[in-house]
Structure 1
Amino acid sequence: MQHDSRAPIRKALALFIASVGPAATAVAAETVELAPVEVVGTTPLPGIGLPKDQVPANVQTLSSQRLREAGGQSLAEDLQRSLPSVNVNEIQGNPYQADVNYRGFSASPLLGTPQGLSVFLDGVRVNEPFGDVVNWDLIPQAAIATLALVPGSNPLYGLNTLGGALAIQTKRGDTHPGGEIELYGGSFGRRGGSVEHGGKRDELSWFVAAEGMKEDGWRDRSPSEVGQLFGKLAWSTATTDLALTLAHANTDLIGNGLVPESMERQRREAIFTHPDQTKNRSTLLALSGSQWLSDNDQISGTVYVRRTRTRTLNGDGNDEYEDEFEEWADAGFPAGEGPENGVLNRTRTDQNAAGLALQWSRIAGAHQFAVGVSHDRSRASFRQSEQGGELTGNRGIEADEDEEQVNSLLGRTRTTSVYATDTVALASTVHLTGSLRFNRTRVINRDRMGDALNGDFTYRKLNPALGLTWQAAPSLTVYGGFSQGSRAPTPIELGCADPENACSLPNAMAADPFLDQVVTRTFELGVRGRIAGNMLWNATAFRSTNRDDILFVGTGGSLGFFTNFGRTRREGVELGLSGETGVLDWRVNYSYLNATFQSSACMLAENNSTEGEGGCPDDEIRVERGDRLPGLPTHSLKLGLGWRAADALRIGADLLAYSSQYVRGNENNRHEPDEDLGGRGKLGGYAIVNLNADYKLARDWTLFARVDNVFDRRYATAGALAENPFVGTGNTFEADPEGWRREQFIAPGTPRSAWIGLRYAWKGL
């Protein structure tokens, strides 16, 4: 199949130009009342900040009120509902374990997933040291004051900022005085609540929050429990600010993953195998502060320690069953026996991280600059074990062997960074921003079961950024820029990077050779403005290209290894319009994303109808330049509407609509189903509608409710081509692999569900 790589660019530019023209004309034709200036931070640490119109990127911000109105159970759901270019893959089937994709880059809790977004909580990076994963269940939602989604490969946010950075700021007693108590319950046996309180006395302020949730889950055998505790003690004067933060979380999540389409059609709540349990326990202690040295100079810094404990238990089919079956068959199945068809996989990951950062910010004439240094180090202990057993009638695992340890790895990382940024006013309406960051990362792996995984690697990179903003009119800003970011390979990738010792799974580690770090370069061009007072609009075109991207490449026989693949690209357009009209507030966001491979390779995909073609070995497919990346819809549309029906009643609705997407295993986009191979290799597009309402019963009491997926739309957010050994209407295990069905597995979306709750709020002094 031939691909015209220029066609998506022409489409993106056409959409971009079409959106800018009418809006610019409307701005020129009308006198617009100036709005208050919104100031945003430009680094993870507190600084002087820049007016948003001087930032050369489409930065999106959300307040705690906007997050509440989104109505999602988890932060991942809130981000999807509120921000353009964000979509979620619910691969685990749990709202707290979603893959969050922004402009085609991921922040995921799953080891082995290429991570492309960095996440910060009060200036502390919360991507876990082992694998750069993001555990959304460990972020204290009740304590979030604001968040900013910074697009592009901004080097100021350090490693892993390939597609963007999410900077979260938490509440304080001097900014959020008073408190509230909230209780709710509803579908899936979900019940939960939160309590928060903030106060201030003289220079001292305090804020505490606690929240918890338990549910049975809407799918079979899917209970979960989340508990979070947050506290902040701050001392502030006119020139000094100090804050001590403690965040603790303890969660027990069940996410039973993908299910064959044939099972899902029989029963919507069906799961494939079980259990699939993840237990997380995390504690963060951070001390941050800032000091004004003069009217133009500020020093700020952060010191932190963080500890995370993760335990997983997965009941799976035996990956070696087919090979073992052939051996038993050749031996004539002595005594009527056969190979074990199930296995319990366990992992134990203990991570300790600590770091410090220091920054000097200064305003000097036409310049506003910041210079900083940071050092982060971590120690991660990873253990993996297996326990053979048999699949039961309900597709659980009954272990009948002793537990056997298969991997034991100790990984240490040390990263030292120096960065600088300067925004200079070339004219009163023109601002140029330049940034640089140098990273030095050392990754040391020690194999505690031998020496195959031993390794000591050092990565260095200088990443620049340059951007320009022009305020063409009081209500019209034009901006554009270039940025470069990088990420070092994770231990999970380094542990499976040798073609001579290929792996059957990304987390089944083998020998440990060198991998190059991934480097991403992003170009962004956009305009934003205001029409008729409260109506805001924006239009942005972007292109991000990954060089030395790390992908899992097949070697034949269902094996493969991580390697520096070549290049991938994400490019597209974001269009947004929002405003208030009388008793209505509304927003419209559209995104176009063209995410493609830009290099050719053979990749493991044994259940694709084209496996073995294009010069690739059996069980592999040929991926060509222009093939679309799986799991990413091309088009997305998000509509939001709020109606103040009365002084005491507010009703809100939102619509999320996504176009089709390819599934994993169909990276070449060429799979065609036949009598032996099921599934289209593609998921259909879908649209869901959510409703929410708040009614003030009295001055301090609010009754609230929400309904998700109002029309009970049946949809899937992710998928993969795989083998299903359970056949027949009873889904019984087929002992002979020749009788297994190769079909499409999906991550089914949540059915219609509803919750109701009560909130009591009181004001502070």
Structure 2
Amino acid sequence: MTTCSQLALAAAMMAGGSAEAQNAMPPQAAEAMLEPVEIIGTTLLPGIGLPREQIPANVQTMPAQSLREAGGVSLAESLQRRLPSINVNEMQGNPYQADLNYRGFSASPLLGTPQGLSVFLDGVRVNEPFGDVVNWDLIPRSAIASMTLVPGSNPLYGLNTLGGALALETKRGDTHPGGEFEVYGGSFGRRGGAIQHGGTRNEASWFLAAEGLKEDGWRDHSPTDVGQVFGKFGWTAGVTDLALTLTHARTDLVGNGVVPESLLRAEGREAVFTHPDQTRNRGTLLALSGSHWLNDSDQLSGTAYVRRTHTRTLNGDLEDDFEAGDDENGALNRTATRQNAAGVALQGSRIAGAHQFALGASHDRGRSNFRQTGQEGELDGSRGVQPTDDEEEVNELLGRTRTTSIYVTDSVALTPAVQMTGSLRYNHTRVISDDRLRPNAPGNLDGDFTYRKLNPALGFTWQMSPDLTGYGGFSQGNRAPSPIELGCADPENACSLPNAMAADPFLEQVVTRTFELGLRGRLSDDVRWNAGAFRSTNHDDILFVGTGGSLGYFTNFGKTRRDGIELGLDGETGSLDWQLHYNYLRAVFRSSACVLAENNSTAGRDGCGEDEILVSSGDRLPGLPAHSLKVALSWRATAALRVGADLVAYSRQYARGNENNAHRAGDEFGGRGRVPGYALFNMSADYRLGSGWMLFGRLDNVFDKRYSTGGVLAENSFVGPNSAFAADPDAWRSEQAVAPGAPRTAWIGLRYRWGS
């Protein structure tokens, strides 16, 4: 029996709850009775999976075509346009360095952002070992076959799955045969292209892809250069399947961050605060995965991988210790981080009557070599930093992480209509830090910490009728502190991430517990709907607390909570495909504490220190809008022409540094502490020219809306005439800095497909 047949028969057995009835007929007859069902993998390894209707959560999927139609420069931008409960903050100022927020949890490439989502490519976790960050620029977008967004603290997805997991599957030659080539160009010097080809011969298959993008950027001094290659080689013989995945990327990203609102008014939205702010990434992944059916009921699967990432940053900043009369007012901070990761995972799956079991184990290792230097300089007329002194080494750290996990899950049909799924996962993590700059010296960065946690999950689905299903469940996940967080956790020795670290206290691991319930169904064969609610509570949450300038430190902060409601409606009406999603999110602190926020107008009140604010239970977390609305339409006007449109709208959000939600503008403080809401309208079209040729185009932010995706309360030192540097720090002004969104952007391209 083929793997697809096994999946179909397994789905029928689990849906019907009667293995005996299915076994009483030939497999071919059982398969003939089945309607098409969408199978969702319940673990990261190749396995049997479950029909989507039997998953006790609001799982979202997106195939490659939907991802393409969503548009967007980066993967994060595309996902926010189509998936509910996602918003993006572009605090770094580059689309490939966006913070992706899902249900109030983040996956970000920026150190200092609390990470709460795990991201996987072909079953391999791509959160980096050093800070759990996600480098979106290293993910080969043209090679993605499908995407699954799993909500909640699902323990089967391992560490860092606090708010959800994003599982990306890549294309294979046996599922995506033929070739495709495209080139495109447009606004702000954007030009790019991609080529891919897949095929099979006997038991072997292959899929190869390469893509590149360059642009000058719409802001000053903000070019982008991205190059990616991908290869996947498969071998399938009967009940055995093997796949070897290879990815490599080289990118050069310049994102010059947030800008004080006064500079935007004076110089326009293209302005930058200081520059350069450059990140160069080199990443390689090699992964081998396989599965083998022992018989009609038992399957073995496994994955082994190695990853190499080399990141170099160059940041032009103000001199943190600048005083009136100093000659140097700027600094160039450089870092080099080499990260190596490797791991192996094994899993056994079994269908036994009304049960579907999986038992697995994994071991992952990460090794990070971090080196940082500083160089004093002077700010020029464009607010760029010109070096005046020699480089000095500031830190050199070796961080190692080791995680061993075992897990078990069982999905059982309690009745023909009720399905129960239970899971357990035990994680054992060790985090070791070695200070290479100050070995064996008092106060160095040496540390050795061990974290253990047993995480459960339990959920139910109830098919009340063929067109109505209810679901509900509980799940728990954990995240161990990363080497960067343990190396920057002392409020007396704040860090300039990722530029400085000091000997620090122990941090507790984050534990998240999630409750979720909802309904989903069909109004007709072509119209689907869903309505759900969730609550996720973080215990010992790890937050990065700013102390002024680029300085800050990591600390545990009691409890935080995310409550939300998700409503969705999608369908097909003749030649029109459409979807409508509304989401409400209430992300709040559930503990009280004094935290540093010197640029908040309420600093020094409520019994806190001079530069501190009192954050109380019920205050909203910054960077997260409460309301979001997403509408998408795709109209097949003719057999050759498709026209698409989408609307993304968000309510206002609080700026970082205004965690107490109490900042007010005044004589000494600028900005409201809030970033206004906004709505963006985008359009796309493609036209088939014939013989495999297609013309396509995209117009983003059609009405050229002026908006910002996030904000922070900061100090502005450029307050003189023509925004010149003020040599007297007493003249500097606290105000709100924002991450301006891209203006109207258009591009057009040509695509050719053959052999598909």
**Normalising by the residue count of structure 1, what TM-score does the alignment of the two structures yield?**
0.92
Amino acid at match of 2:403: T
Report the CA distance shift for 1:713/1:59 in structure 2 as closer, same or farther (over 3 A).
same
Residue 637 (structure 1) shift: 0.1
Q: Which whole-Å CA distance do the structure 1 matches of 2:303 and 2:549 have between them?
A: 50
8 Å CA contact retained: 2:251, 2:280: yes
Residue 442 (structure 1) shift: 0.5
Match of 2:722, SS state, is coil
Alignment of 1:661 with 2:653, yes or no, is: yes
Report the CA distance shift for 1:449/1:180 in structure 2 as closer, same or farther (over 3 A).
same
8 Å CA contact retained: 1:556, 1:620: no
Q: Which whole-Å CA distance do the structure 2 matches of 1:728 and 1:555 have between them?
A: 24
**1:555-602 deviation digits (Å, cap 9, x = unpaired):** 899975422210000011000000010111110000000000000111
8 Å CA contact retained: 1:549, 1:565: yes
Q: Paired residue for 2:423, among 416, 428, 435? A: 435
8 Å CA contact retained: 2:333, 2:499: no
Listed as ranges, the matches of 1:275-674 within 5 Å are 275-321=276-322, 324-325=323-324, 338-450=326-438, 451=441, 452-503=444-495, 507-553=499-545, 561-674=553-666
Amino acid at match of 1:83: L
Amino acid at match of 1:617: G
Q: Which whole-Å CA distance do the structure 2 matches of 1:286 and 1:730 have between them?
A: 54
8 Å CA contact retained: 2:93, 2:256: yes
Listed as ranges, the matches of 1:701-740 within 5 Å are 701-740=693-732
Residue 507 (structure 1) shift: 4.8
Listed as ranges, the matches of 1:87-102 within 5 Å are 87-102=87-102
Match of 1:760, SS state, is strand
> In structure 1, what is the equivalent of residue 70 of structure 2?
70
**1:93-116 deviation digits (Å, cap 9, x = unpaired):** 111000000000000000121100
> In structure 1, what is the equivalent of residue 752 of structure 2?
760
Q: Which whole-Å CA distance do the structure 2 matches of 1:420 and 1:49 have between them?
A: 14
Q: Which whole-Å CA distance do the structure 1 matches of 2:299 and 2:347 have between them?
A: 8
> In structure 2, what is the equivalent of residue 42 of structure 1?
42
Residue 319 (structure 1) shift: 1.0
**1:132-179 deviation digits (Å, cap 9, x = unpaired):** 000000000010000100000000000000000000000000000001
8 Å CA contact retained: 2:112, 2:544: no
Listed as ranges, the matches of 1:91-240 within 5 Å are 91-240=91-240
Amino acid at match of 1:413: T
Q: Which whole-Å CA distance do the structure 2 matches of 1:505 and 1:44 have between them?
A: 32
Q: Which whole-Å CA distance do the structure 2 matches of 1:420 and 1:531 have between them?
A: 36
Match of 1:726, SS state, is coil
Match of 1:730, SS state, is helix
Q: CA RMSD in A?
A: 1.5
8 Å CA contact retained: 1:556, 1:618: no
Alignment of 1:688 with 2:680, yes or no, is: yes
Amino acid at match of 1:217: G
**1:258-302 deviation digits (Å, cap 9, x = unpaired):** 011111123121111000000000111111100000001000001
8 Å CA contact retained: 2:114, 2:544: no
Q: Which whole-Å CA distance do the structure 2 matches of 1:600 and 1:566 have between them?
A: 8
8 Å CA contact retained: 2:512, 2:537: yes
> In structure 1, what is the equivalent of residue 29 of structure 2?
none
> In structure 1, what is the equivalent of residue 690 of structure 2?
698
Amino acid at match of 1:97: Q
8 Å CA contact retained: 1:607, 1:721: yes
Amino acid at match of 1:448: R
> In structure 2, what is the equivalent of residue 750 of structure 1?
742
Match of 2:624, SS state, is coil
Q: Which whole-Å CA distance do the structure 2 matches of 1:741 and 1:556 have between them?
A: 12
Match of 1:57, SS state, is coil
> In structure 2, what is the equivalent of residue 335 of structure 1?
none
Q: Which whole-Å CA distance do the structure 2 matches of 1:447 and 1:114 have between them?
A: 24
Range moving further from structure 2, 34-43 or 72-81: 34-43
Residue 34 (structure 1) shift: 10
Residue 552 (structure 1) shift: 3.5
Amino acid at match of 2:411: T
Amino acid at match of 2:449: F
Residue 531 (structure 1) shift: 1.2
> In structure 1, what is the equivalent of residue 7 of structure 2?
none
Match of 1:428, SS state, is coil
> In structure 2, what is the equivalent of residue 271 of structure 1?
272
Q: Which whole-Å CA distance do the structure 2 matches of 1:668 and 1:80 have between them?
A: 27
Q: Which whole-Å CA distance do the structure 1 matches of 2:52 and 2:110 have between them?
A: 34
Q: Which whole-Å CA distance do the structure 1 matches of 2:141 and 2:210 have between them?
A: 10
Residue 501 (structure 1) shift: 3.7
Match of 1:751, SS state, is coil
Q: Which whole-Å CA distance do the structure 1 matches of 2:64 and 2:260 have between them?
A: 38
8 Å CA contact retained: 1:496, 1:506: no
Amino acid at match of 2:121: L
Match of 1:743, SS state, is strand
Q: Which whole-Å CA distance do the structure 2 matches of 1:761 and 1:506 have between them?
A: 44
Amino acid at match of 2:482: T
**1:613-642 deviation digits (Å, cap 9, x = unpaired):** 011111111000000000000000000011
8 Å CA contact retained: 1:90, 1:97: yes
Residue 55 (structure 1) shift: 0.4
Q: Which whole-Å CA distance do the structure 2 matches of 1:609 and 1:669 have between them?
A: 11
Report the CA distance shift for 1:50/1:601 in structure 2 as closer, same or farther (over 3 A).
same
Residue 497 (structure 1) shift: 1.9
**1:385-419 deviation digits (Å, cap 9, x = unpaired):** 10001100100001101101111100011100000
Unpaired segments of 5 or more residues in structure 1?
1-32, 329-337
> In structure 2, what is the equivalent of residue 6 of structure 1?
none
8 Å CA contact retained: 1:559, 1:604: no
Residue 504 (structure 1) shift: 5.9
Amino acid at match of 1:50: L
Residue 498 (structure 1) shift: 3.0
Report the CA distance shift for 1:193/1:503 in structure 2 as closer, same or farther (over 3 A).
closer
Match of 1:727, SS state, is coil
Match of 1:484, SS state, is strand
Report the CA distance shift for 1:252/1:566 in structure 2 as closer, same or farther (over 3 A).
same
Residue 513 (structure 1) shift: 2.4
8 Å CA contact retained: 2:458, 2:473: yes
Q: Which whole-Å CA distance do the structure 1 matches of 2:73 and 2:552 have between them?
A: 37
